Amino acid sequence: MTSGEALRRARLAVGALFLANGMGLTTVLPRLPEIKADLGLTNTALGLALAAAPLGSLSAVPATGRLIVRYGSAQVAVVTGAVLALALPLLGLAPVWAALAGVFVVLGACDGVMDAAMNAHGLRVQKQYGRSLINSFHGLWSVGAAVGAALGTTAAALRVPLPLHLLGVSVLVLVAVLMARAWRLPGPDPPDLVEAGPTDERRGVWSAVRPLAWVALLAVVAGIPEDVSNAWSVLYLSEDRDAPPGLAGLGYTVFAVAMMTSRFTADRVTDRLGSVRVARVGGLLAVAGYVVVLTSPVLWLSVAGFAMVGLGIAPAFPTLFHAAGHWPGVRSGDGVTVVSWVARVGFLVTPPLVGAIADSAGIAAGLVVGAVGAATYTVLAGRLSPQPGRAR
């Protein structure tokens, strides 16, 4: 059993990984209008470039289970986090669409593997604490996302050159990752994280896909409203609502802050109400948020609508990772990897779909995709109910 001080440091290490991951890719989102204009991209072309990130994740994440077995979850998260930090400034130097998409592929691969590995290490720390911590870890991801978004919004308002902005964020991410390396839990991951048990070891992570099919589907639809708000809130406020750069970035910033607030309170609320009820109420709140965004005649109310989406959808992924990490007959590392990997399917399809709709009918019409995803998540939330050790 790990000593109390070492366990507290390990909790800080996991928190640092979530902070770093949240800060990385999100800081570029407020500057997407600038990137789009500088490279002369259509909405469809921008959507395809953004889809390159989940494409990289889909290619890399299936290897995460084997990497965790061989090197440990913390080491995998640290290394991929460091590579993500080093690659981030390249987004600001991309001269053409192909280069932009190529950098997103690399960043997406690092993000996907890091995401699965840091969640696996977080579950290891949570088990030693003997109580739920996963929502608070995801809350720290939202803190990182809010900080990254605020830095991006401020840099856009002050017209800081994009490469310089991304280099500064890269340094912050690298410092957090190195801190995590020093404070992570020592030794190999425990048997319940890395041993297959009743699953087929020869197939590795793929053996977990069938038993986790419904959880994986929920991850796909839960990712849609989050991804739509991530990628298109700034462009919607900038192009459809004529907001200046500093104000347009607030659409994503308040979304990220709302997610952070929701996740820091979700553990207690879920313990009281149960995961299914929280998922249904949250999904309905996200749908209502999109209605406010799209129908309000006042710009500030549209910004508030994105906050409603963030509050509602924030508990989804912590709940799904918890369920996948405690599914009977599936090792924890593989369960987390499956959810992380399949969620990228939604992240891959959503940006070009919204981009194509935006080119033909306007960005507002594209945002309806987010509302549909939130509504579908609400309807399917009952599939979380049968889990032993209730998902929280």
Output the DSSP codes for 254-279. HHHHHHHHHHHHHHHHHHHH-HHHHH
Q: Considering only CA atoms, which of 344, 335, 251, 280 is closest in space to residue 52?
A: 344
Pick the most confident of 19-23, 57-61, 194-198, 342-346. Answer: 19-23
Cβ-contact 74, 12 below 8 angstroms: no
Q: pLDDT averaged over the chain?
A: 86
**pLDDT over 60 (residue 183):** yes
Q: Considering only CA atoms, which of 149, 100, 128 is closest in space to residue 258?
A: 149
CATH class of the domain comprising 4-384: mainly alpha
Q: How many CA atoms lie within 13 A of 35 on its CB side?
A: 30
- Between 2 and 33, name the one with better pLDDT: 33
- Between 339 and 246, name the one with better pLDDT: 339
Cβ-contact 197, 258 below 8 angstroms: no
Tokens of 181: 């390396």
Boundaries of every domain in the chain: 4-384
Pick the most confident of 73-77, 212-216, 323-327, 330-334. Answer: 73-77
Angle formed by the axes of helices 250-273 and 213-235, nearest 10°: 150
Q: Residue 22 and residue 147: Cα distance in Å, rounded?
A: 9
**pLDDT over 70 (residue 1):** no
* pLDDT at residue 193 in the model: 53
* pLDDT at residue 263 in the model: 83
Q: Residue 86 and residue 167: Cα distance in Å, rounded?
A: 9
- Between 60 and 281, name the one with better pLDDT: 281
Q: What is the CB neighbour count within 10 angstroms for residue 328?
A: 10
pLDDT digits (tens, 9 = 90+) for 329-366: 777 767 777 887 788 788 888 889 999 999 999 999 99
Q: What angle do CA 18, 22, 23 make, to 5 degrees?
A: 120
- Enter the DSSP assignment of 217: H
* pLDDT at residue 207 in the model: 66
* pLDDT at residue 387 in the model: 45
* pLDDT at residue 210 in the model: 76
Kindly state the average pLDDT of the residues 120-137: 83
Q: What angle do CA 301, 286, 153 make, to 5 degrees?
A: 55
**pLDDT over 90 (residue 85):** yes
What is the percent of the chain with per-residue pLDDT over 70, rounded to a whole number? 92
Q: What angle do CA 88, 9, 170 make, to 5 degrees?
A: 10
pTM summary value? 0.75
* pLDDT at residue 321 in the model: 80
Q: What is the DSSP string of 311-334?
A: HHHTTHHHHHHHHHHT-TTS-HHH
**pLDDT over 50 (residue 386):** no
Residue 274, phi-psi category: left (phi > 0), alpha (psi -120 to 50), beta (remainder): left
Kindly state the average pLDDT of the residues 5-11: 88
Kindly state the average pLDDT of the residues 55-75: 85
Q: Residue 293 and residue 339: Cα distance in Å, rounded?
A: 29
* pLDDT at residue 390 in the model: 39
Q: Residue 212 and residue 384: Cα distance in Å, rounded?
A: 11
What is the percent of the chain with per-residue pLDDT over 90, rounded to a whole number? 48
pLDDT band (50, 70, 90) for residue 2: low
- Enter the DSSP assignment of 31: G
Q: Cβ neighbours of residue 234 under 8 Å, at least 6 residues apart? A: 29, 30, 32, 33, 248, 249, 251, 252
pLDDT band (50, 70, 90) for residue 218: very high
pLDDT digits (tens, 9 = 90+) for 263-316: 888 777 877 888 788 889 999 999 999 999 999 988 999 999 999 999 999 989
pLDDT band (50, 70, 90) for residue 201: very low
* pLDDT at residue 199 in the model: 42
Cβ-contact 302, 292 below 8 angstroms: yes
Give the containing element (helix H, strand E) for 169: helix 162-183
* pLDDT at residue 128 in the model: 84
Q: Residue 88 and residue 109: Cα distance in Å, rounded?
A: 12
**pLDDT over 90 (residue 42):** yes
* pLDDT at residue 385 in the model: 58
Kindly state the average pLDDT of the residues 191-215: 59
